[in-house]
Amino acid sequence: MAKQRGAIVVDIERCKGCELCIEACPTSVLRMERKVNGKGYHFAYMEDPGECTGCINCAIVCPDGVISVYRVKVEA
């Protein structure tokens, strides 16, 4: 069965740590990094990358447009 795998890239220095992407992710892929960026914001990262389907939900709710999404079809 064909399945989708996804991955995101966060532009770390432009992330403002609002956590809206975390709320938007249906498969709980994202967490906030304990470290902070140059502006002092915690930034989002993939804690559980295997669960990312590349649905783009996190990216379209990110007010700062800092998330890019990649997706491939894979065999289950």
Q: Which residues bind other proteins (CB under 8 A)?
A: 2-3, 5-7, 9, 14, 16-20, 23-24, 41, 46, 49, 54-57, 59-76
When CB distances are held under 5 to 8 angstroms depending on the partner's kind, the choice from ligand SF4, other proteins, none that residue 38 binds is none
Task: Give the integer Cα–Cα distance in Å for 70 and 49.
Answer: 12
- Of the residues 60, 64, 68, 74, which one makes contact with ligand SF4 according to CB under 6 A: 64
Of 11, 2, 3, 72, whose CA–CA distance to 45 is shortest?
11
Task: Give the integer Cα–Cα distance in Å for 11 and 5.
Answer: 20
- Of the residues 3, 4, 27, 68, which one makes contact with ligand SF4 according to CB under 6 A: 27
Lookup result for tokens 């399945």: 3
Q: Is the dihedral of CA 31, 59, 23, 74 positive or negative?
A: negative
Which residues in this chain contact ligand SF4 in the complex, by CB under 6 A? 6, 8, 10, 15-21, 24-25, 27, 29-30, 43-44, 52-58, 62, 64, 66-67, 69
